[in-house]
Amino acid sequence: MFQGPVVMRWYRAPAKLNLSLRVVGRREDGFHDLESLVAFADVADWLGFAPGPSFELLVEGPGASETGPIGDNLVARAVRSLAARAPGLRSGAFRLVKRLPAAAGLGGGSSDAAACLRALAEANGLGFDDARVIAAASDTGSDVPVCMSACARMMAGVGDRLGPPVRLPALFAVLVNPRKAVATRDVFRALGMEKGIYRDRRTPDQAVAAPTTLDALAAAGNDLEAPARTVLPAIADILDRLRRLEGARLARMSGSGATCFALFDDPGAAATARGRLAAEEPGWWIAASALG
């Protein structure tokens, strides 16, 4: 693999945070409809790409051992999905430096796939808004479309409805993962929502307003937090630790877990809190990050 020198262009694949997450209902096909305010952190995986005659993928970095078989990687799936829609697609060599924990509620794999689709689109003269690129993103994973632009916005449905970009106040986060994976399917199973059950029904043009202030975020919550705690009780302890950090304004779980975060409005307080936690829990993955 990668015989000889390979000059690559590098693409950032930032961590996705669900600042709020509401489960609106469960469709008859078994998928859940969600409403979530998504933001992106400045901690990220990195994906290198060099156009070439055939697809290659090398995965390295501290999280490489968590990614599973190459053929199942979302980067490989994104390549296959776009190639099926764009005959003659020029692929090439990819090098994924995996820094984000897997199965962590951070959308790391989805962000990697979005970076892959951006790279392929540029190499093949396709716009990011090309119908084939959009379809490949949706086909690869429900979080991939929102990761394509990596800006704060509301996402709804099964990730197929994206609101306009929103402006957040200056927020700084401390992200914590106990290095324990949580399977999304297990969390939804613990939620126990039957098919056809809806808390309310909105048409696609009835988008919910984004909770862009700390007070609004505090009221919004994450509906998957309680079932995730039954799957991994350590989440409750992490949230309690985060809430007690000096300067923390809000603590919450991201996505289906197990990563949790505390929000600060002062970067110094976030950095201090990150250092304190890292000293106390050297086995955890802990990062401080600005959002936006």
Active site residues: 16, 143
CA separation for the pair 279, 169 (Å, rounded) = 29
CA separation for the pair 209, 207 (Å, rounded) = 6
Q: C-alpha dihedral over 195, 187, 43, 77, to 10 degrees?
A: -60
- What is the Cβ-side half-sphere exposure of residue 143, based on CA atoms within 13 angstroms? 28
- Where b means 16+ CB within 10 Å and e means fewer, 88-118 reads ebebbbbbbbbbbbbbbbbbbbbbbbbbbbb
- The binding site for ATP consists of 101-111
- Work out the angle between the directed axes of helices 74-85 and 108-123 (0-180°, nearest 10): 40
Residue 281 CA: distances (Å) to CA of 178, 275, 277? 9, 10, 6
Structure tokens of 41? Answer: 């952190």
Q: Nearest CA to 145 among 27, 290, 36, 288?
A: 36
DSSP 230: H
CB 152 within 8 A of CB 291: yes
- The binding site consists of 101-111
CA separation for the pair 115, 107 (Å, rounded) = 12
H/E element holding 41?
A: strand 32-51
